[in-house]
Structures are given as C-alpha cells and as structure tokens.
C-alpha cells in the first residue's frame, strides 16, 4: 500500500473510480482525453473519492476492457501505463497513468462526434473554442503570438519599441531583428506578437482598463469611481501607463526614526510591475472582447487577465514554489525578458511574493493572493497602509507597538555593532529569516543615515564585508 500512496503523490492529477463502468465508458474516458491534453494524470480504479479501498473483482478483465476502449474511442492514441496493486487486505487496485501528450488535441470519439476534454480543477470538461484552438496549435508546435496576422511590417510603425531598445539596451533595431525576435516573417508578414508591439496595434482585445474605485467594492460610496483610464496601442505603453496609473493612485506614508525615515508605500512597486507584465504576456489573446483589468480599492489592488493557467491547473491549488513556467505567448515573454521587465523565466509569482515581503511592517497576512479559473487569472495585493473602519484605534496601537519594537531592535543592533559584524552575524542576532528584509528594513536605513558604516565601503558586495557602528 505504501507504493500506491507514493505513486498517488507523484501523479500530477487523478480521478478515483470505485469500479469500472463498462456501460458508461464516457464517465472515465473523458478523463483520459483531459489528462493527455493537459499535464497528464491517473485514473485509480477500486478506490472511492474519499480514498476508501473498495477493490476490483476481476482486474485482468478490467485492463483488457480499458485498453480496448482507449484504442477505439480516444484519438490519437495517448501513452497509457497500467499498474496493478494488491493491498494488505487482499483488495486489487488498478492505476491507469496517462502521459501528457505532444499530439494534442486528444479527442473522445462517440456517436460520430469528436470532443476534446480539458481539466478545470478536478473535473474533466469539453474544451471551449479558444482552448481547443490552443490545443491544436500546441500539437502543431505553434503559439498564438507566433501566428501570421495578415498585416505587413511596412504598413505599421514601431517607434515605441525602437526607442525603448535604443534607450534601455543601446540597440538600433532593424527588420532582421524583428524577424529574429519572431515579430514578423521573412516576407514581412507580421505575427500577432508583432501587432502587439506596433504603435497602432489593431487588436481590439489588446487593452488595459484601469479603475480606482471609491470604497471596498465596485458599487462605490458617493461616486462609483475616483479615476479611470483605458490604455491601448503598443503593449510596452500599456505596461508602463498601467504602472503609472497604479503609482498615481497609491500613497507613500513614512515614519520618522531618530535620524532617518522609513518609507511605507501601499504596495511593493517591483511586485506590482511584475504582476502587470505577467498579465500582459501570459493572458489569452484569443478571447475577443476581453482585456486586462486593474481594479484599485481602498484596501486592495486586483490585476485580472483573460485566460487561466496555460496547463489548466488552478493556481490556488498549487504550491508557488513548484509551479512550472508555461509561457502562453513566448515571443512577448522573450522581449519583456530582453528589456529586463521580468526576471528569469518561471520566477514571476515568487518575485511578486518576495518583493512584497520586504515592505516595512509586512506579515504573512499581507502576502499576495493568486486565484485562477478556466477563463481568468487574478493577483490580489493588500494595501499595507489600509486601516479598516471601526478598527482604527486597534490598528494604530498595533502599528505603534510594531514601530516601537523595531526601534528597540535597531538600538540593540547598533550596540551589537560596536565591533565589526558580518551580515550573517547581524541576521542571526536579529532573528531575521529573509536577507532581503534585513537589507531593506535595517542595513540600508542605518547606512543611509550614517549610523552604521561598511568596513569595505569601496567593495559593498565583498564576502569580507562587515558593518560597524559609526
């Protein structure tokens, strides 16, 4: 039984079946289709949904039936592995492991109809039109942003893209660069990624709607909205202007210390920029009439983009540390990476979380939340400076106590640094787990104020660097 439990933990997804429903093969064949179309998974026959062991009466017969049904009703034929187990109680279990396929879509065929299934949470459902199109492109090793658009490079302008590369990377782009980036074909035909980087960008779904709502929801208090903007055109301008909108509608509080001050922004700027970049480069551009939404409320910021996780999983059911990078629009992602708008591939969500954790006064209650459905992805930031109505006194006291504790720690740290100390020694002394938090909350403010100094000021990144009270 231990081997079964180990295999269950290794499966990316699974369905439990008490028995093989011979007369209703669709009830389990749709999961075979979905697993092959998505990340793979397994069907466990002989076990109930609550993981109660039921067992199978004739496991050899069941293997023959399942194998025959898959060959007859799933096209193209997926890679399937059968594993039989017998528990200590003598009950037979069958695990049918389906490998994620490369020849998508995998259809369930019955009554003359072909239906491709995908996973939404723990359910196998028919793929909606835009998802089916993505499966077809994946089977052809294509992505939406790489498809030809019908527009020609000579009919469009790229002043923002060209100026950005010249300013940020000291590179003057040519048509050959557009081709190598995947923005156009050798004959000058623009890809959809090329359209999105053009000044005119004729795609109506390539837009960002930004709104600062009055209150905690969209119904508002006296006014529905305090500020709103709609951004279209090239995708670089959409990113930068959306970021500016958030900064303009955010506040920067600060706390005065003995000889310096600590800035206390509503949101971590770098985390917000990363979330916006992710929304634009990972969104589903196949959904006509859709756009990225930036919604700011008194207590939070929400960034919502069309299209769920590219592999069909739900982000709230995943460990952020284990999420694999699946780029829906790799051409857009590559250019954002070249411009250093995003970190290395696959680190976006961790970057959003970590950058927020460096903020003054951060606790786990303020950690960004990630939510997805089959049709959308949302990042939710809590306003670090928001104080709930009716709880002002409590929060003010809590903040005062927090600040007082920080002052005590700083004074103790300065006494500790009467002799030169290494960063590791200081981190251990303060009991701070995160090195970034140590830098932003303690070392940088004290160095900037002149209360602490480096022993090797000309080599700030030296492994031999130490800090001593000034």
For 174: left if phi > 0, alpha if psi spans -120 to 50, otherwise beta; the answer is: beta
Average of per-residue pLDDT across 188-206: 94
Per-residue confidence (pLDDT) for residue 401, from 0 to 100: 47
Q: What is the pLDDT of residues 274-330, one digit of tens each?
A: 999 999 999 999 887 889 999 999 999 999 999 988 777 889 988 888 787 778 899
Per-residue confidence (pLDDT) for residue 122, from 0 to 100: 83
Residue with the larger pLDDT of the pair 253 and 76: 76
Per-residue confidence (pLDDT) for residue 96, from 0 to 100: 95
CATH code, domain carrying 458 = 1.10.10
Tally the domains of the chain.
4
Per-residue confidence (pLDDT) for residue 39, from 0 to 100: 87
DSSP strand pairing (208-213 vs 292-296): parallel
Residue 387 lies in a domain: no
Residue with the larger pLDDT of the pair 405 and 371: 371
How confident is residue 222, by pLDDT bands cut at 50, 70 and 90? Answer: low
- Tell me the three state secondary structure of residue 302: strand
Domain that holds residue 162: 144-197
Q: What is the pLDDT of residues 112-166, one digit of tens each?
A: 889 999 988 788 999 988 889 889 988 988 888 999 998 999 999 999 999 999 9
Same domain for 329 and 277, yes or no, is yes
CA dihedral 183, 146, 284, 368 (to 10 degrees): -60
Query: In the chain, pLDDT over 70 holds for what percent of residues?
Result: 91
**Residue of 386, 335, 403, 367 whose CA lies nearest to 146:** 335
Distance CA 68, CA 75 (A): 13
Same domain for 398 and 351, yes or no, is no
Average of per-residue pLDDT across 426-437: 75
Distances (CA, A) of 253 to 140, 240, 267: 52, 23, 11
Per-residue confidence (pLDDT) for residue 41, from 0 to 100: 92
Same domain for 220 and 354, yes or no, is yes
Same domain for 118 and 165, yes or no, is no
Per-residue confidence (pLDDT) for residue 389, from 0 to 100: 42
Same domain for 257 and 377, yes or no, is yes
Query: In the chain, pLDDT over 90 holds for what percent of residues?
Result: 59
Per-residue confidence (pLDDT) for residue 454, from 0 to 100: 93
**Beta bridge partners of residue 303, listed in sequence order:** 294, 379
Per-residue confidence (pLDDT) for residue 398, from 0 to 100: 45
Residues 6+ apart with CB under 8 A from 230: 207, 208, 209, 210
Distance CA 409, CA 445 (A): 13
Same domain for 172 and 300, yes or no, is no
Of the candidate ranges 257-266, 270-279, 395-404, the one whose mean pLDDT is the lowest: 395-404
Residue 341 lies in a domain: yes
Look up the pTM and report it: 0.72
Tokens representing residue 209 in the block: 């709607």
Average of per-residue pLDDT across 235-251: 95
Per-residue confidence (pLDDT) for residue 312, from 0 to 100: 74
Average of per-residue pLDDT across 362-373: 93
Average of per-residue pLDDT across 432-456: 81
Per-residue pLDDT at 400 exceeds 90: no
Residue 297 lies in a domain: yes
Per-residue confidence (pLDDT) for residue 8, from 0 to 100: 66
Residue ranges of alpha helices (H) inside 371-434 are 392-416, 423-430
Same domain for 226 and 365, yes or no, is yes
Same domain for 219 and 329, yes or no, is yes
Per-residue pLDDT at 338 exceeds 60: yes
What is the DSSP annotation of 242-255?
HHHHHHHT--EEEE
CA dihedral 425, 426, 430, 432 (to 10 degrees): -90
Distance CA 164, CA 171 (A): 9
How confident is residue 199, by pLDDT bands cut at 50, 70 and 90? Answer: very high
Residue 212 lies in a domain: yes
Per-residue confidence (pLDDT) for residue 394, from 0 to 100: 41
Distance CA 444, CA 467 (A): 11
How confident is residue 392, by pLDDT bands cut at 50, 70 and 90? Answer: very low
Residue 156 lies in a domain: yes
How confident is residue 434, by pLDDT bands cut at 50, 70 and 90? Answer: low
CATH code, domain carrying 84 = 3.30.950.30
Same domain for 20 and 95, yes or no, is yes
Distance CA 316, CA 373 (A): 9
Residue 309 lies in a domain: yes
Angle at 165 between CA 200 and CA 202, to 5 degrees: 15
Distance CA 123, CA 127 (A): 12
**Which of 330, 352, 382 finishes a domain?**
382
Residue 203 lies in a domain: no
Residue 40 lies in a domain: yes
Same domain for 306 and 442, yes or no, is no
- Cα dihedral across residues 433, 439, 441, 446: positive or negative: positive
Q: How many CA atoms lie within 13 A of 396 on its CB side?
A: 5
Per-residue confidence (pLDDT) for residue 391, from 0 to 100: 42
Same domain for 22 and 97, yes or no, is yes
Q: What's phi and psi for 287, nearest 5 deg?
A: -80, 100
Same domain for 89 and 128, yes or no, is yes
How confident is residue 221, by pLDDT bands cut at 50, 70 and 90? Answer: low
Q: What is the pLDDT of residues 33-55, one digit of tens each?
A: 999 999 899 999 999 988 888 99
Distance CA 312, CA 130 (A): 13
């Amino acid at each position: 039984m231990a081997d079964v439990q180990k295999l269950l933990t290794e499966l990316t997804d699974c369905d439990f079946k008490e028995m093989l429903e011979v007369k209703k093969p669709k009830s389990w064949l749709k999961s075979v289709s979905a697993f092959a179309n998505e990340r793979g998974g397994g069907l466990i026959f002989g076990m109930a949904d609550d993981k109660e062991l039921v067992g199978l009466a004739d496991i050899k017969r069941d293997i023959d039936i399942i194998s025959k049904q898959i060959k007859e009703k799933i096209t193209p034929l997926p890679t399937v592995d059968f594993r039989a187990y017998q528990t200590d109680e003598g009950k037979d279990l069958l695990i049918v492991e389906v490998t994620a396929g490369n020849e998508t879509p995998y259809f369930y065929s019955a009554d003359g109809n072909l239906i491709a299934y995908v996973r939404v949470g723990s359910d196998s459902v028919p793929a909606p039109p835009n998802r089916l199109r993505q499966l077809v492109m994946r089977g052809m090793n294509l992505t939406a942003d790489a498809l030809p658009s019908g527009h020609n490079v000579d009919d469009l302008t790229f002043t923002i893209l060209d100026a950005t590369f010249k300013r940020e990377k000291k590179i003057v782009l040519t048509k050959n660069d557009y081709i190598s980036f995947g923005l156009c074909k050798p004959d000058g035909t623009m890809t959809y990624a090329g359209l999105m980087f053009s000044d005119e960008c004729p795609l109506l779904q390539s837009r960002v709607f930004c709104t600062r709502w009055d209150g905690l929801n969209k119904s508002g208090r006296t006014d529905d909205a305090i500020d709103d903007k709609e951004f279209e055109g090239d995708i670089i301008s959409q990113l930068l202007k959306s970021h500016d909108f958030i900064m303009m509608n955010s506040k920067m509080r600060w706390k005065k210390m003995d000889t310096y001050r600590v800035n206390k922004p509503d949101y971590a700027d770098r985390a917000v920029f990363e979330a916006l970049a992710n929304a634009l480069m990972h969104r589903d551009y196949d959904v006509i009439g859709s756009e990225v939404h930036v919604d700011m409320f008194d207590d939070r910021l929400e960034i919502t983009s069309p299209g769920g996780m590219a592999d069909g999983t739900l982000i709230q059911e995943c460990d952020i540390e284990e999420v694999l990078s699946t780029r829906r629009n790799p051409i857009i992602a590559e250019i954002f990476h070249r411009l250093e708008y995003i970190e290395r591939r696959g680190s976006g969500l961790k970057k959003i979380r970590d950058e927020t954790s460096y903020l003054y006064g951060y606790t786990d209650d303020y950690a960004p939340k990630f939510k997805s459905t089959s049709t959308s992805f949302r990042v939710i930031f809590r306003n670090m400076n928001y104080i709930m109505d009716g709880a002002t006194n409590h929060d003010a006291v809590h903040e005062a106590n927090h600040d007082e504790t920080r002052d005590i720690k700083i004074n103790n740290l300065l006494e500790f640094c009467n002799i030169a100390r290494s960063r590791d020694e200081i981190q251990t002394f303060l009991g701070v787990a995160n090195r970034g938090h140590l830098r932003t909350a303690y070392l940088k403010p004290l160095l900037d104020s002149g209360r602490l100094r480096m022993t090797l000021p000309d080599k700030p990144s030296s492994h031999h660097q130490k800090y001593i009270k000034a």
